[in-house]
Each structure stands twice: as C-alpha cells, then as structure tokens.
C-alpha cells in the first residue's frame, strides 16, 4: 500500500521504535532477556507502595473512576496545573500561573509538538532547525519532526578523567547560531550519557538564545526538583525565553504518560491548540495520582530521600562491576552525574557499536547502540560507533549478569583483534 510522505517517514525503521520494541520484549521475556537498554525506571518499593496507596485512596473516594470517565481540556487537568505552578513558585519564586503550564501524553509527545512548531518548513520559504549544542543527545529526538533534516548538532569537547572516566562539555567555540536555527535544545541530565550541564553552560546557552531571539528548550525529565535523579549541585533554570519540560515517568509512572511543559503563555497556547487537534486532551490518570504529592510537596521529599540515593548507589555498583570485568585500557565510562544510564566508550572498538548491540542481543543482553544518539551531527566521527548506552537501574542480578556477558564479549573482541 502506498503511503504519503508523512506515512513513509513515520513507518520506517528508527532508533526509538527499536528501543521500545526491545523494551516491550524485555518486559514480556522474563529471565530470558537481560534488559539493560530501555529507559524503564526501577521498581523502587517505597515509591510503588506510596503510589499504590494513593490509587487505593482515589478508588475509595470515587475520584479514579471520575477521572477515567471525563475529558480534561487540551492543556490537561486544571487542578494539577495550578498545583505545579504553586510548587515551583514556592520553591524558586518563578511567578508562574496556569497560563505557563500544560500537560502532554508524555515528554515524547511534547517534543513532537515543540520541534514541529519551531523548526521545519516555514511559509516564508525558509527552513529552520533545532540545534543540539552537545552531542550525543536523546535518541527520541531524531525522528520527532515531520520535515526532514531539521536537526544540527555540535561535537563536544572530551575531557579524560581519572578512574577510566571522561566527560563531555559544550564546545562554545564551535557553536554557531545562524538565522536558520529555530531553537536550542538540551537534556539535563543528558540522556544517554548522564552528563549534567553546568550552571555556567546553561547561562551561556540562555544568553545565546536571547541574543538570537530563539527559545532554549531544557529536557528535565530526570532532573530537579523531581524525580531528582541528578548527582551534581545545580540550579534549575527558567525564564520567559525558556521551555522547561518535565515528566512523571521517572518518578515511577511511565505508563501514565504525563509530560509537563512550563513556558511563556504564547508557547503554551500554541501547544494546547495542537493538543486539542491531535489528542483532544492529555490523559488524566497520572496527574490525579500525583496531585496529593504535588500539593503537599511530598514529591520533593520522596525524590530527595528515596529516588536520588537509590539510583546513585546503583550507578556506583554498576560502575565498579564494569571496571572490574572489562580488562582493556581503551574502555571509558562517562562520569555518572544523573539519569538512569551509563555511557560506555570503547576506543578503537574492532566492530561498530551497532554490531556489538546485535552480538549482545543474540546472547540475551539488550543495550542501545550509541550511533542513534547523534541526530544532526553530519561530521564523520568514529566516536559515534564506539559507544553504547546501558541502563543500570534494573534488578541487581540482571545488571550483574548483563555486565558479565558484555565484559566477556568486549574482552574477546579486543583480544582477537590484537592477535592479528
């Protein structure tokens, strides 16, 4: 059957659909698949118990059925939006109103709206693009535009650190903002690397965005104040030129599909119009469950005292396992500063990262090949095929077994390559 240009673009193979297919197989596959690839958050008992209690309270009060039986507006649940405004105003003095906030069916949905509002083909005949100032970036961005060729990325500076670590930083000398750039976009912490842009880097990006009259989009899905899977001391950033995107997924509600967008009222109005046309309204279950946590600020307490230390401890365990088991001087780990992932760099890897992904998949271990995380980077750079993303957040036994297989596979690849 012939498809439209739109149909052909969105039915072809993509990194994000491969990742989600693998994630679904991992969920259904039980012990046969070691799922170290997707972005599923860990099952943290304290969080699951609290969410279960909240859902039971809503069910007992009849509110859960009411939520399921009624539409919200295209911006989402009013009571949740108002409570989000109060929360951020109390925490940071941002002076938000309900006009600054809307909900979407997950962050992926929000970025589809934003990228197609701010980039692509314009009636003036111009084409505008989204600039990623620090590659690598989130795999889900790559195909979230109706138009082709709307992303441009900049290679990072790489700083080698002790203990087999390294860190990416923005190369501001290479960062050029031309008239065809429609917005700057970063994730903080960065998915896939766990990198956290410093306050100075964010300040510089903000100044550049204002100078060129374009918004700065910050993907805060893992960041502060919730779920606060961030291991560095940084300040949250927002002003009238910022579009800040949050989510309930990594707090423990990925199935609820609730993204939160904070921006100036003009952007929010445009996005809510899109929401009404494309989805009628975003789902209300996640906001209804989380509403008491927002109102009481318990979401902050749980994020600080339960979620953050849980992930920080698991990341350190996984890092130590990798250091112990991968016996090659070319192996590096990006400094773990947040998010659910470790970004592994195998210098001079004898095969490509996509081939390594296939080898590991055959052995029952799912990771994500690093080459998917460089949307908009047109330069031929071998580094893009030397990295993989690993989710360290799953059950400790699964992580250790997966790292065992990964280490054995990589060690053999390097050893065999040296024998020639």
Q: What is the pLDDT, as a whole number, of residue 3?
A: 76
Q: Where are the domains of the chain?
A: 5-44+301-413, 48-299
For a pLDDT cut of 90, what percent of the chain falls above it?
87
The pLDDT tens digits of the residues spanning 339-354 come to 999 999 999 999 999 9
State pLDDT tens for residues 17-32.
665 566 565 444 455 7
- Pick 48-299's CATH classification: 3.40.640.10, 3.40.50.1970, 3.60.20.10, 3.90.1300.10: 3.40.640.10
**Mean pLDDT highest for which of 6-10, 36-40, 111-115?**
111-115
Q: What is the pLDDT of residues 353-397, one digit of tens each?
A: 999 999 999 999 999 999 999 999 987 899 999 999 999 999 999
Residue 188 has pLDDT above 80, yes or no: yes
pTM: 0.93
The CATH number corresponding to 5-44+301-413 among 2.60.40.1180, 1.10.3720.10, 3.90.1150.10, 3.40.50.300 equals 3.90.1150.10
The tens digit of pLDDT for each residue in 63-115 reads 999 999 999 999 999 999 999 999 999 999 999 999 999 999 999 999 999 99
Average per-residue pLDDT for the chain: 93
Q: How confident is the model at residue 2 (pLDDT cuts 50, 70, 90)?
A: confident
Task: Please give the Cα distance from 370 to 19 (Å, whole number).
Answer: 12
Q: Which residues pair with 183 in a beta bridge?
A: 130
**Domain 5-44+301-413 shares a fold with domain 48-299:** no
Q: Is 164 helix (H, G, I), strand (E, B) or coil?
A: coil
For residues 146-154, average pLDDT: 94
**pLDDT above 90: residue 8:** no
């Amino acid at each position: 059957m012939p498809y439209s240009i739109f149909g052909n673009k969105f039915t072809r193979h993509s990194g994000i659909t491969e990742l989600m297919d693998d994630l679904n197989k991992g969920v259904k596959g039980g012990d046969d698949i070691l799922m170290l690839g997707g972005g599923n958050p860990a099952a943290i008992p304290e969080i699951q118990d609290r969410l279960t209690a909240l859902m039971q309270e809503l069910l007992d009060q009849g509110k859960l059925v009411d939520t399921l039986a009624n539409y919200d507006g295209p911006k989402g649940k009013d009571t949740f939006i108002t409570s989000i405004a109060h929360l951020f105003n109390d925490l940071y003095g941002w002076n938000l109103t309900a006009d600054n906030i809307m909900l979407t069916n997950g962050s992926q949905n929000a970025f589809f709206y934003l990228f197609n509002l701010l980039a692509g083909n314009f009636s003036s005949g111009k084409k505008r693009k989204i600039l990623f100032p620090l590659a690598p970036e989130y795999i889900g961005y790559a195909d979230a535009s109706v138009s082709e060729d709307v992303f441009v990325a900049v290679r990072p500076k790489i700083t080698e650190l002790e203990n087999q670590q390294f860190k990416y930083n923005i190369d501001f000398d290479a960062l050029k903002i031309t008239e065809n750039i429609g917005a700057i976009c970063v994730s903080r912490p960065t998915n896939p690397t766990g990198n956290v842009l410093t306050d100075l880097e964010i300040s510089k990006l903000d100044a550049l965005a204002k100078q060129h009259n374009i918004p700065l989009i910050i993907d805060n899905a893992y960041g502060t104040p919730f779920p606060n899977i961030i291991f560095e001391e940084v300040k949250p950033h927002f002003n009238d030129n910022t579009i800040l995107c949050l989510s309930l997924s990594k707090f423990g509600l990925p199935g609820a599909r609730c993204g939160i967008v904070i921006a100036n009222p003009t952007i929010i109005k445009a996005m809510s119009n899109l929401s009404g046309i494309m989805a009628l309204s975003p789902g209300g279950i996640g906001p209804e469950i989380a509403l008491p946590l927002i109102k009481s600020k318990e979401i902050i307490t749980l994020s600080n005292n339960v979620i953050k230390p849980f992930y920080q401890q698991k990341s350190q365990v996984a890092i130590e396992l990798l250091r112990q088991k991968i016996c090659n001087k070319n192996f590096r780990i990006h400094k773990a500063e947040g998010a659910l992932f470790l970004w592994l760099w195998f210098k001079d890897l004898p095969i490509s990262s996509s081939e390594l992904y296939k080898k590991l998949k055959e052995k029952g271990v799912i990771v994500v090949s690093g080459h998917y995380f460089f949307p908009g980077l047109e330069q031929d750079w071998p580094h893009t095929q030397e990295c993989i993303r690993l989710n360290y957040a799953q059950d400790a036994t699964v992580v250790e077994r997966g790292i065992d297989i990964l280490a054995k596979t990589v060690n053999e690849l390097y050893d065999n390559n040296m024998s020639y």
